[in-house]
């Protein structure tokens, strides 16, 4: 049984703005002029929501997750949501516990409860035709990926979408489902907790060269380069050392002998908050692209995880210790019926146009960056980078944990074909070995519309925080800048710098701005 822990709050949208552009440089002078105007006036090019759009917020908890020290919880949960139809503009989540004396809800540090991932979706009957479609980490049996999948970065990276784009629900839909994967690392040493994060196989796991724990998992997800050329251990049952397959529900992340006997049971919860409004005719429903996984290719969705072997000389040549995977995938592979579940689409999975609104990467400890680029032109679409915490005692800033990932929001949306080929490149620090790491992109997109009036309605700026208005800007000012942006849009290079190991290499850094 879930608990509503916060009363629903309501705010009215006004013409608001937040300066979010800093450290920017542009490839083209016209775009540079535009961005300098936008920064000077405090205008980011976010959409203007109608004045009568009533935004609401509700915060709830999953069922309890009681865990012994070192124990893993990897189960499905029913998430109660407001009755549909609604439009969800923001989802955020973190791991908390309840003080038994005061009933106060307390955020739990990542070094005590490691949120490996949470993946949210829907099994509503209206999405049954999508049950065989693919999106990153979507579990078997989940009809539609809602898209709120993240790990330790979730507390610092709430997923936000601008009006009219939102994840929408059906009239009789009042629940979502979530796969929540948490490891109790409380009362462990720093070294033990760090080892646990990578889900090492233990003596309790049965590895017979063909299966892991008697489950005939598929071993064909890795592309040929990762599997055969790199011979990555995570791609083969006979060399598998750690990762999701050794981190199932009820297992322990370390040998029992290394854990305290009769240790305390900690009870955790996933706390989730959604910001939403009633569904409006102007809303444009979002869905997830099938892409991207750095271990996949044009024929494979990917293995989800892979290992990062230690480099040859981490002491004397640490600058050379970068493990890089690069692959090419289709934005939304053929066979995913109904491009994003909004329009019926070509039942044969044909090529269609979509509007990409939001992208964010997902990486594990050791991750440096993950990039997605247009394979034909070389244009960098998004570079997502982790931020690592520096303070062990502060929730949200836990030392050496990924506490956020930079995101890319496209306003106006980036128009792409589902058949578009994109190059995915992921880089990890290999001064230390890692098992079961991930390099995924979550890409939220909408089916196209013919009515250009909808496009005109997404100009301007409207941003709020839990405390209220950040800045307020006139509609005419927002419109002026937005119209100029449409006429002069160019690729912006955000804080370009060299990437040490490769001469002449440069890339666009995502810094949570609209492009």
Phi, psi dihedrals of residue 502, rounded to the nearest 5°: -115, 120
Cis peptide before 85 (omega within 30 of 0): yes
Name, in order, each residue with C-beta under 8 angstroms of 103's C-beta and a sequence gap of 6 or more: none
CA distance 64 to 96: 10
- Of 244, 171, 170, 238, which is closest to residue 208 (Cα–Cα)? 238
Stretch 26-31: mean pLDDT, rounded? Answer: 35
Write the pLDDT tens digit of every residue in 203-220. Answer: 999 988 788 888 776 788
Report whether pLDDT(198) > 60: yes
pLDDT value, residue 496: 32
Write out the DSSP string of 274-299.
EEEEE--TT-EEEEE-S--BTT--SS
Q: Are 507 and 491 in contact (CB under 8 A)?
A: no
Name the least confident of 245-254, 330-339, 351-360, 483-492: 483-492
pLDDT of residue 48 exceeding 80, the answer is no
Lowest mean pLDDT, pick from 96-100, 192-196, 312-316, 334-338: 334-338
- What is the rounded CA–CA span in Å between residue 511 and residue 493? 11
| Residue 222: how many other CB atoms lie within 10 Å | 25
DSSP state of 339: T
The answer, yes or no, to whether the previous bond of 292 is cis (omega within 30 of 0) is: yes
Query: What is the average pLDDT across 430-455?
Result: 83
Instruction: For 155, list phi and psi in degrees, rounded to 5.
Output: -65, -35
Residue 140's pLDDT is 61
Per-residue pLDDT tens for 457-469?
Answer: 332 222 222 222 2
Using pLDDT thresholds of 50, 70 and 90, give the confidence band for residue 28. Answer: very low
For residue 381, give the nearest of 412, 352, 414 by alpha carbon.
Answer: 414
User: Tokens 């900690």 identify what position?
Assistant: 266
Predicted confidence (pLDDT) per residue in 362-409, tens digit: 999 999 999 999 999 999 999 999 999 999 889 999 999 999 999 999
| Model confidence band, residue 35 (pLDDT cutoffs 50, 70, 90) | very low
Q: How far apart, in whole angstroms, are the C-alpha atoms of residue 25 and residue 480?
A: 21
Rounded to whole angstroms, the Cα distance separating 135 from 66 reads 30
| Phi, psi (deg, nearest 5) at residue 457 | -80, -5
pLDDT of residue 208: 83
Q: Which domain holds residue 366?
A: 3-514
User: Would strands 407-417 and 513-514 be described as parallel, antiparallel, or unpaired?
Assistant: parallel
Contact 447, 346 (CB under 8 A): no
pLDDT value at 455 more than 70: no
pLDDT of residue 326: 96
The yes-or-no verdict on residue 201 having pLDDT over 90 is: yes
Peptide bond into 412 cis (omega under 30): yes
Compute the distance between CA of residue 241 and CA of residue 238 in angstroms, rounded to an integer: 9
Q: CA nearest 178: which of 271, 305, 302? A: 271
Domain count along the chain: 1
Q: Which whole-number Å values give the CA distances from 202 to 71, 94, 514, in the listed order?
A: 13, 28, 45
**Distance of alpha carbon 141 from alpha carbon 311, whole angstroms:** 39
């Amino acid at each position: 049984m879930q608990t509503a822990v916060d009363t629903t709050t309501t705010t009215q949208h006004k013409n608001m703005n937040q300066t979010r552009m800093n450290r920017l440089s542009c490839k083209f002078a016209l775009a540079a002029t535009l961005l300098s105007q936008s920064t000077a006036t405090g205008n980011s090019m976010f959409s203007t929501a109608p004045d009568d759009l009533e935004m609401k917020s509700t915060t709830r908890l999953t069922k309890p997750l009681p865990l012994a020290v070192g124990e893993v919880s990897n189960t499905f949960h029913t998430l109660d949501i407001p009755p549909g139809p609604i439009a969800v503009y923001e989802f955020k989540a973190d791991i908390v516990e309840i003080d038994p004396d005061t009933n106060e809800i307390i955020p739990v540090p990542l070094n005590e409860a490691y949120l490996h991932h949470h993946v949210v979706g829907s099994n509503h009957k209206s999405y049954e035709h999508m049950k065989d479609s693919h999106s990153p980490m979507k579990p078997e049996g989940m009809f539609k990926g809602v898209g709120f999948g993240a790990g330790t970065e979730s507390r610092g990276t709430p997923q936000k979408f601008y009006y009219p784009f939102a994840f929408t629900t059906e009239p009789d839909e009042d629940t979502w489902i979530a796969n929540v994967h948490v490891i109790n690392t409380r009362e462990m040493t720093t070294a033990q907790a760090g080892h646990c994060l990578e889900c090492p196989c233990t003596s309790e796991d049965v590895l017979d060269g063909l299966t892991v724990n008697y489950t005939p998992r598929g071993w064909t997800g890795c592309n040929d380069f990762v599997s055969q050329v790199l011979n990555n251990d995570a791609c083969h049952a006979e060399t598998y050392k750690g990762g999701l397959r050794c981190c199932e529900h009820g297992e322990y992340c370390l040998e029992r002998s290394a854990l305290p006997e009769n240790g305390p049971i900690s009870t955790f919860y996933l706390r989730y908050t959604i910001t939403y409004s009633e569904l409006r005719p102007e809303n444009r429903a979002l869905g997830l692209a099938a892409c991207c996984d750095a271990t996949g290719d044009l024929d494979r969705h990917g293995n989800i995880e892979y290992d990062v072997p230690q480099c040859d000389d981490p002491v004397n040549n640490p600058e050379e210790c970068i493990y890089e995977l690069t692959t090419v995938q289709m934005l939304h592979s053929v066979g995913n019926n109904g491009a994003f579940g909004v329009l019926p689409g070509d039942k044969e999975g044909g090529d269609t146009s979509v509007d990409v609104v939001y992208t964010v990467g997902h990486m594990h400890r050791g991750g440096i960056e993950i990039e997605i680029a247009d394979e034909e032109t070389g244009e960098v679409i998004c570079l997502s980078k982790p931020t690592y915490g520096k303070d062990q005692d502060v929730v949200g800033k836990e030392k050496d944990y990924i506490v956020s990932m930079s995101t890319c929001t496209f306003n106006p949306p980036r128009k792409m074909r589902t058949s578009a080929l994109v190059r995915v490149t992921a880089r990890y620090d290999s001064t230390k070995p890692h098992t079961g790491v991930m390099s995924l992109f979550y890409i939220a997109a909408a089916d196209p519309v013919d009515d250009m009036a909808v496009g005109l309605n997404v100009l301007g700026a409207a941003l709020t925080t839990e405390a209220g208005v950040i800045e307020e800007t006139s509609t005419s000012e927002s419109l002026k800048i937005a119209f100029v942006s449409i006429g002069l849009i160019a690729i912006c290079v955000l804080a370009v710098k060299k990437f040490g190991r490769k001469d002449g290499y440069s890339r666009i850094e995502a810094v949570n701005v609209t492009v």
